[in-house]
Amino acid sequence: MNNSAQVSIQTPSHETLINITRQVQEVIPKIGLTDGLIHVFVLHTTCGLTINENADPDVLHDLLYRLNDIAPWKGKSDRHMEGNSAAHLKSSLLGSSVSLPVINGRLVLGTWQGLFFGEFDGPRQRTIHLTAIHS
């Protein structure tokens, strides 16, 4: 059995946070992980991953709003020729990977937690790499 897999996501808009908890959970039995960690890694430099509240959609709205306060699309002194420096900064703030515990084949998350994929330069086809770390 392969200890890794990939998940593709087509993002719907320029900026969004997408709950990918279900997609990651569906991969866990396919890669034979019962107990250990699942390492989730984004193969792109203008998107990221975060664990945050999964109950109130206003939290996601507020996160994107605050990220835009920190990194507005048009910076005063941006030099990157593609014009997407804000997306790179937001990606760096969130990070490109997370590791989550798995017990009895299930993700271990708090009651209100979910795993979110952040798109900051879409819409695009994106790839997430998952690796099982067996205990």
Torsion angle (degrees, nearest 10) of CA 38, 105, 5, 18: -70
Tell me, yes or no, if the pTM score tops 0.85.
yes
Residue 40 neighbours by CB distance under 10 Å: 23
Q: What is the CATH number of the domain that holds 110?
A: 2.60.120.460
pLDDT score recorded for residue 105: 98
pLDDT score recorded for residue 89: 95
63 contacts 17 by C-beta, under 8 angstroms:
yes
pLDDT score recorded for residue 113: 98
pLDDT score recorded for residue 76: 72
Helix pair angle (57-70, 85-94), 10° resolution: 120
The boundaries of the domain holding residue 28 are 4-134
pLDDT score recorded for residue 1: 61
pLDDT score recorded for residue 130: 98
Question: Residues in the chain with pLDDT < 50?
Answer: none
pLDDT score recorded for residue 81: 66
Q: How many helices (H) and strands (E) does the chain have?
A: 3, 8
pLDDT score recorded for residue 94: 98
Q: Give the chain's domain count.
A: 1
